[in-house]
């Protein structure tokens, strides 16, 4: 919602200010300049960016409007899941959940928490961490280092890559706007003998190229890249919280304490209260709808 509002404000401010100054908004409608700038920009990405990154960029652009894929209710569900799983481990040992870890889609514990079943990357991360503990990795500091490195290699690396691609495009658009403007000036010079009204229109159209290059770069593409970076960092909070809970458990904390310490690491906007978490655990992962916001 906020990115859409931002785009509306940007266009309203730029075009509205031009109109209030006495300008004709139709003058800004220069499709040829737009084709030159956007076309050369996209072409430069095909040359300078791997095909994998372009495919991920197409996939990730809608995330600008959707935001982080993990909401408060997802963090609460994850904490309740870990509390339930670690409680079994604490009382019966890892052998009791070995089959659950290896076949989560057949596990009664996992099936109660759909976020883990349908989010393949999150499921894989959780499985690998639990396998490492189950296999007897008893040095929590060494495991912290390994898992910390793996967190940085999760799927959000693609999101960050998409952000870098957008930033690269944003950096080049002002220069491409100048290219479009120069082409327009060349066209105007070819019509130097024409009446002032025609020549003025051609020069104005050329200057629109510079305007479009800077406007699209700093008003649209650049902010979209920054937003994807922020979303990537938000998504990583889920992985970091799981890491914190399991690390606390490996350090010898009881499941309830490990989960509570993990809850405290979440950002304020996504952090369920102690009462919400306690109630959700008590209700076997089910929570009142008013807490799902």
d(CA 271, CA 37): 44
pLDDT for the residue numbered 195 = 85
pLDDT for the residue numbered 156 = 62
pLDDT for the residue numbered 153 = 67
pLDDT for the residue numbered 137 = 65
pLDDT for the residue numbered 145 = 73
Is residue 112 within 8 A of residue 285, CB to CB? The reply is: yes
Is residue 170 within 8 A of residue 223, CB to CB? The reply is: no
pLDDT for the residue numbered 136 = 67
d(CA 165, CA 162): 5
* Cα dihedral 267, 269, 273, 277 sign: negative
d(CA 148, CA 142): 10
d(CA 56, CA 12): 31
Q: Where do the H-state alpha helices sit in the chain?
A: 2-20, 31-48, 51-60, 63-66, 72-92, 98-102, 108-111, 114-118, 120-134, 140-151, 156-189, 196-216, 222-250, 255-264, 274-282
Q: Domain ranges in the chain?
A: 30-293
Residue 165 structure tokens: 């691609």
pLDDT for the residue numbered 290 = 46
pLDDT for the residue numbered 155 = 54
pLDDT for the residue numbered 284 = 63
Residues 62-99 pLDDT 10s: 888 888 888 898 899 899 989 988 888 888 887 888 88
d(CA 279, CA 80): 10
C-alpha R_g of the chain: 27
d(CA 277, CA 292): 12
| Spans of the chain below 70 pLDDT | 136-140, 152-157, 284-293
pLDDT for the residue numbered 293 = 43
């Amino acid at each position: 919602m906020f990115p859409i509002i931002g785009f509306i404000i940007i266009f309203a401010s730029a075009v509205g200010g031009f109109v209030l100054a006495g300008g004709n908004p139709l003058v800004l409608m220069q499709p040829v300049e737009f084709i030159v700038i956007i076309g050369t920009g996209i072409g430069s990405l095909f040359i300078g960016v791997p095909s994998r990154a372009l495919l991920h960029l197409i996939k990730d652009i809608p995330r600008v409007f959707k935001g982080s894929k993990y909401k408060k209710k997802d963090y609460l569900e994850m904490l309740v899941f870990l509390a339930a799983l670690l409680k079994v481990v604490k009382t019966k040992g890892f052998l009791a959940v070995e089959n659950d870890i290896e076949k989560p889609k057949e596990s009664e514990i996992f099936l109660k928490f759909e976020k883990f079943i349908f989010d393949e990357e999150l499921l894989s991360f959780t499985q690998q961490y639990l396998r490492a503990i189950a296999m007897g990795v008893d040095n929590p500091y060494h495991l912290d280092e390994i898992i910390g490195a793996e967190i940085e290699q999760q799927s959000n690396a693609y999101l960050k890559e998409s952000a870098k691609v957008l930033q690269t495009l944003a950096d080049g658009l002002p220069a491409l706007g100048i290219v479009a403007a120069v082409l327009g000036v060349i066209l105007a010079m070819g019509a130097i003998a024409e009446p002032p009204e025609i020549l003025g229109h051609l020069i104005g159209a050329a200057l629109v190229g510079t305007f479009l290059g800077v406007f699209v770069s700093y008003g649209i593409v650049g902010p979209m890249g920054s937003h994807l970076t922020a979303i990537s960092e938000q998504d990583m909070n889920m992985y970091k919280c799981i890491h914190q809970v399991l690390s606390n458990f490996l350090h010898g904390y009881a499941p309830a304490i490990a989960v509570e310490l993990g809850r405290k690491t979440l950002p304020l906007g996504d952090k369920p209260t102690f009462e919400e978490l306690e109630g959700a655990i008590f209700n076997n992962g089910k929570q009142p709808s008013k807490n799902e916001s």
